[in-house]
Amino acid sequence: MLLTREADYAVRCVLEVARAGHISAAQVAAIQGISPTFLGKIVQVLGHAGILATRRGVGGGIALAVPPESITLLQVIEAVEGPLALNDCVASPPQCSMIATCPAYPYLCHAQQALRDALRVTFDRLLEPEAPEPHPNGQSHGAALTPSADGERSPARRGAHTR
């Protein structure tokens, strides 16, 4: 599965806005190397989704519509791509007549849930100074997913002992 360029740019845009608090679309485009026209379309979609707020004119620009702790990667991705599904059988509603007899279905359901859970990380968490850095192979530098006290899986802090 590969996210679209639009979803990638949407995530990068929200990160820049969350960092800055208030920023122009031109600044986001320049910082992130995104076409201003394409970014404008993405900002419009994120605005309609209630993730970004925009204002034109002097003092205008882009801001988060809600606090960063209320926005997840999953929300941003689904705002531009629609519901995230690994396969038709795990879409909502399922689009496959073979679910009852398919031996792969339970595994796809598990993978779908794990992906959605991983993408429920909030933007305030992504901006934490000790947030794990992305690694080219999809793993975190110096961090592993470990169960927390409430049973949720979250990145372990650097130097923490994990099993």
The per-residue pLDDT for 34 is 94
Look at residue 55 and tell me if it is in a domain: yes
15 pLDDT above the threshold of 60: yes
What percent of the chain stands above pLDDT 70? Answer: 79
Q: How many domains does the chain have?
A: 1
Q: Identify whether 58 is part of a domain.
A: yes
Are residues 61 and 54 in contact, defined by beta-carbon separation less than 8 angstroms? yes
Q: Give 158's pLDDT tier (boundaries 50, 70, 90).
A: very low
Give the alpha-carbon dihedral of 85, 91, 92, 93, to 10 degrees. 170
**Residue 51 lies in domain:** 5-83+120-131
Among 139, 141, 146, residue whose Cα is nearest residue 162: 146
- Domain assignment present for 61: yes
Say if 72 falls within a structural domain: yes
Do the domain assignments include residue 160?
Answer: no
Residue 95 counted as domain residue: no
User: For the chain, what is the total number of helices (H) and then of strands (E)?
Assistant: 6, 5
Residues 108-146, buried b or exposed e (16+ Cβ, 10 A)? Answer: bbeebeebbeebeebbebbeeeeebeeeeeeeeeebebe
Is residue 148 in some structural domain? no
pLDDT exceeds cutoff 90 at 23:
yes
Residue 65 pLDDT > 60: yes
In a domain, 28, yes or no: yes
This prediction has a pTM of: 0.75
Return the CATH number at 127.
1.10.10.10
